[in-house]
Structure 1
Amino acid sequence: MIELIRRLADFDLDAILASPAWRTYHALCATVSGLTDSDLRDQIQAALAESENARIARIADAWRTLTGLFGYRLRPELDTGFETLASVLSVAMHGLVVAAIAAPDVAGREIVASPFDDGPPRRWSLSALSVAGTALTFLEPDPHGPDDERRLTQVHQAIDEWASRLAREASSKD
């Protein structure tokens, strides 16, 4: 799970930075508070909020699926849901995007470490450390999760489904 988070965090940041839609979204976020026309400002803020809420719902669904597949769960003592995890991760990613735009050398910095005692030291970007640290604040191994063989079968099926969906989405955007 930790290795998946490490790799997906970098992939996610790179995808966001390469996306024209994200650049537009961030430009709107940066300019909306300076709009003097209050009706226009309210309309844009409402559209941004709707977009953000839909994205957080998708992120929450993805984390719900991932944690189930890899035998993790939300920490019961936090008494929160995947939407909260997704919201906190979204805030962190927004900050990483701004940092990557403003100071690519900072956002691109890496360390070689084993910050979660999960094996030998590996390269960790700031985005991977941020996402993994945040996620592991909310998540823990599920003592009642599926056994390793069943979990591995579920992971392979989910990866195949995601790869197919991503390929379809990518071809529909072109």
Structure 2
Amino acid sequence: MNLLQPLLLASNSPRRKELLASLGLEFKVKVKEVPEDFPEHLHPAEVAEFLASHKAGAYADDLGSEVLITADTIVSAGDRILNKPAAYDQAFEMLRTLSGTSHQVITGVCLLSENFKEVFHDTTSVYFKQLTDAEIDYYIRHYQPYDKAGAYGIQEWIGMVGIERIEGSYFNVVGLPVQKLYTKLVELKVIA
């Protein structure tokens, strides 16, 4: 792949860095602390896009010739958005909520340059088996998923033993819808 414009990833997520690197693209990483508050009236897909766009806005004045990539992944159980848990009890309650049912993982992405702003999202449905309290406890104690929306990582132990199936992109659940991102970068002539 030929990179026609330099890429700047605004994320501290090791998973996003790994996924973007796996596309064979070179990029730099720049991270700023950006509040993740959002208007209460937004639907889950709108929240994911709002947060990705909001993060990009924090870098707008710093951009030169780069194309900035920002992303935000949320977990939606019905109308409830499950953010990153702050403590064990919150993580336990979230995983109990997801147990034996399906939920949506939505990643919003914003591509920003001097010439364009493109915001999109991808949605994956995830189906958990009925988890035991012992399984939930084991996962939280051993993996400490406090940096993960919905209190879990699909690529970790809980994903291997608890997720029965998904509908949509696996990589979207990991944190970056790489197929959609790649397609947009080609369409926008960032890569060829």
Give me the TM-score of the superposition, normalised by structure 1: 0.25
Would you tell me which structure has more strand in proportion to its own residues? 2
Give me the TM-score of the superposition, normalised by structure 2: 0.24
Would you tell me which structure has more helix in proportion to its own residues? 1
Q: RCO greater where, 1 or 2, for CA within 8 Å and sep 6 or more?
A: 1
